[in-house]
Structure 1
Amino acid sequence: MFSNSSQSPLSKNLHRLFLLRNIVIAAQCVTFALAHWILEMELPWTPMVGVAVMLAVLNLATWVRLRRKLPVSSIEFFVQLLVDVFALSALLYFSGGSTNPFISLYLLPLTIAAAALPWAYTWVMAAITISCYTLLLFYYVPLPHDHEEHNSEFNLHVSGMWLAFVLSTVLIAWFVVKMGISIRERDKDLALAREQALRNEQIIALGTLAAGAAHELGTPLATMAVVTGELQNEYTENNEFQGNIRILRDQIAHCKRTLTQLLADAGQARAEDGSGQAVDHFLRQVLDKWQLMRPSVQFTYRGSGVQPAPQILNTQLLSQSILNLLNNAADASLKHIEIEVNWNYQELHLKILDDGEGLTGEAVQRAGQPFFTGKAPGQGFGIGLFLANANIERFGGSVRLTNREGGACTQVILPLIRQSTQSTI
């Protein structure tokens, strides 16, 4: 009936109060019927039934109000509880006052106020319920009784007290349990928000450091390009040397392009800056670029999916994230890497299988945290997987690292761009 996923805690609690009031109204109707037809008690039924009808009308208005999905304030929730307290007081006044076994139901709105509202409202509610109970000690309509049936009436009173206790216990436990679940959900959401904020701060710090490093690395890379060019011109007869120099110059050129792109995109890389590209072409480009970066890595690629291939958001961040994951697998692999890809119209599933030693227990727990690396000292900084995981999550995807027989598996899930089903003319 109501969607609780996006509601505030007080909105959820008002919804629970609405359900709780339905239960109370139903219990009142059953009690009235029992007292009138079974026990044949002479009570002022007109005002008592009027109070129950008033509660039903209030709950109908609450139902309409909940459907409008407006924010619920503490004062509104408190007023709703006050109406329940005054309705209970009216019913108790017409049915024996403090001698009524259902007097303990005053604990129910007090418990709800203590669980759902700030402490000031709780103390006000405590003062109101104590005042109502105190007034009912002196002002009430006595229950009709016959002296000859005193014992049976006493037994009935004890039974009513037991029923009131059971009803209060069940309703209080239900509401408090639901409140505890809401609090735990809120704490979980706050923890996720704090973790995301911390991750964003770390990414910004890394971006600032990367921009500074790019400026500093420009000069030595230019020097290396000049020196390797001179060496290439000097030893023209040595074919093996020429091949090695060519690889070195290609790597230097790739580093310079990467730094140029980094400086151009610093502070401007956003998910919405990308354009759509067929997912098979996108993967082929990423693998071609990776093969240029790591020419010595041996791998097999298997890709399959629906045709024509749907599009994926092609951005520098996304391709760089996948390259980081491929490089991690290459560093861990001993001989060979398997890359398995399949897609449908909604998602891309990418698996990178290496034949390394697998993940340690600590790596499984901490993989993706900044500055944590399972590599040997000096062979990694612990930011590649962190950035890849953060960027892929920004695109609505996920990264998962698991152990498998004979190595580790990196699983990536990425959403694809939904295509319109309507043909354009």
Structure 2
Amino acid sequence: MAPRQDRLDDVALPWLVTVRWAGVLAQAAAVAAGAQGLGATMRVSLPIALIAISALSNGWLSWRLGRRQPVTMATGGWLVCADVIVLSWLLQGAGGVLNPVSIFFLVDIVLAALVLDRAWAWIVTTLSVGGYGLLFLAPSDEVAAATTMHPEIGLHVRGMWLAFAATSLIVAILVGRLASLIARRDRALAELRDRAARDARLAAMSTLAAGAAHELSTPLGTIAVASRELEIALERAGVDPDVREDARLIRAEVERCRLLLHDMAGRFSEPMGEGIEPTVLPTFLDATLVVLSPAERARVRVDAPIPDVPIAWPPNVIRRAVVNVMRNALQASAPHVPIRIAARVGDNDVVMLMVSDSGAGMSADVLARVGEPFYSTKAQGEGTGLGLFVARSAVEQLGGTLRMTSREGAGTTVTIALPARPDRPHVS
């Protein structure tokens, strides 16, 4: 079945609207076939009212589709269930199983398997099989008369219901499985496109950062020297302290620009083709913790035991990625509150490093954007919004993944998953 979600997506909703319009026509055809072809005697006022309600509900769906307003999965599920119930009631008074429109139950089953989640698909399938079965358990006058005249028809119609139930089950499973495979393929393609776009942005920013650092280093150095000389001259001349403070501010901001350019150049010029160095995971983590300052290391808690698994990674690339993640966790947590790092080995010798903090967490909207270049949740001037982007790009170039889970008020966990050796299959 299709993966569970809360809303109908941009593909499912148009299909739901289109097929429900076909369902409205099928309901009208069922009444017409019963009255004209099968000689059913039923008052048409209530059927017309039910068909009108179905049409109005689908008109409302069409209106929301035109305005690109979301429709919940539950709303779609209830509407399809209502269509099945209306069709069952109409067929009961319009010839029952003798009415050719009774085959439309299968259309509702296929629709549910394609556009609804697993639970709603099975609800619609069960309801359709039950509705079709009621046409046999409480047969219409036409079916009852035919059974009286030809008793063998009774066995035939019971066989029809069993065949319909089996067919419905097979259709629901096959169509649901197909929808799930298509959705999985679409997600994989989207992930590949995102990864290619990140790699392209990384290459572009690497060139930009190196060029900017080279071209701006000389003028920034000149401004820093000139502002310092200006500050000294103003102090000797006894100029107003506020004016001297402006000169100091110029020098401080120039230094900040210089450090920012140096940091960007360092991040992007990290050699992605760095050689592989075999080691073991505990040794790698010990060397990574050394990069942190003593105050930062004091707030890191390593959950023992760390698996003594052999690894072969480019040490500087992965170490920088892990340090970026740990520093983000430290900055997200309150002062003196520790963070935790754990490790385990999964299937296919995939090593997973988990860094958890107890900070404020992130909303779903913020979590979806974290990792984009130049997007940061830190206060202005405290981050470039590049650390996590570079870390994820480095990990993915080695066949790994970097994923985040977070909940507001409950902290964040970042999981880096990497094959123990780069020549192993990529992490899925």
TM-score between the two structures when normalised by the length of structure 1: 0.45
Which has the greater radius of gyration? 1
TM-score between the two structures when normalised by the length of structure 2: 0.44
